[in-house]
Amino acid sequence: MMKEIKLLFLLTCLVNVNYAQNKLLDSLIQNNYYTFGRSDASVFKGKGWEILIDEIDKSNSVLLGETHFTNEIPSFVSAIVSTVKFDNYFQEIDPFSTKAIESKIKSLPSEKLDEFVRGYSSNFSFLEIKQEFDLYKKIVQNARWSSSEQF
């Protein structure tokens, strides 16, 4: 009987500790909750956007997670890279393909680049998706780095 009382007491304490943590988390969220919205496909605005951009700009590194094949992610990242300049960009594609695609983006005129993409995009991993490719094209065109520096 004594073991059951001790177990019941322990469980009660754990529930209270968990409730206290949730209450603290809820309080932090309520006091630091900001929203933002889109005025068009690539422009975000609102207090939440201003705070987000300010924090990204002050940060040494930024990691964005996503659900694959979510069309809103490229426009969101595009808006971020239009506002904040980054020294490095990592993506889920091998470095050899990245180097080849980057060189084509930098060297081919628009029509020839479109032809290259139509012919080989099935080999581009996530960059096969137009929105993802357009984002990477923008990043390459605005970059202060080159993937060739990695080798």
- Contact (Cβ atoms closer than 8 angstroms) between residue 34 and residue 17: no
Residues 54, 22 share a domain? no
Q: Who wins on pLDDT, 61 or 71?
A: 61
Q: What is the pLDDT of residues 69-106, one digit of tens each?
A: 777 888 888 899 888 888 888 888 888 888 889 999 99
- pLDDT mean across residues, the chain: 80
Q: Which residues constitute the domain of residue 101? A: 35-151
Contacts of 72 (CB under 8 A, 6+ apart): none
pLDDT of 20 reads 52
Q: pLDDT grade, residue 131 (50/70/90)? A: confident
Q: Who wins on pLDDT, 137 or 73?
A: 137
Residue found by looking up tokens 């094949």 in the block: 69
Rounded to whole angstroms, the Cα distance separating 76 from 71 reads 9
Residues 109, 89 share a domain? yes
Residues 87, 129 share a domain? yes
C-alpha atoms less than 13 angstroms from C-alpha of 150 in its C-beta half-sphere: 14
Rounded to whole angstroms, the Cα distance separating 86 from 72 reads 20
Distance of CA 26 to the CA centre of its chain: 25
Residues 56, 26 share a domain? no
Please determine, for residue 26, whether its predicted confidence score (pLDDT) is greater than 90: no
Please determine, for residue 27, whether its predicted confidence score (pLDDT) is greater than 50: yes
pTM exceeds 0.85, yes or no? no
Rounded to whole angstroms, the Cα distance separating 66 from 105 reads 25
Rounded to whole angstroms, the Cα distance separating 142 from 147 reads 13
DSSP state of 92: S
pLDDT of 88 reads 82
pLDDT of 3 reads 65
Residues 86, 21 share a domain? no
Tokens in use for 9? Answer: 């007491």
Q: What is the pLDDT of residues 28-43, one digit of tens each?
A: 888 888 888 888 767 8
DSSP string, 108-128: S-HHHHHHHHHHHGGGSGGGG
Please determine, for residue 135, whether its predicted confidence score (pLDDT) is greater than 50: yes
Query: For the chain, what percentages of helix, strand and coil (3-state, to nearest 5) are there?
Result: 70, 5, 30
Domain count, the chain: 2
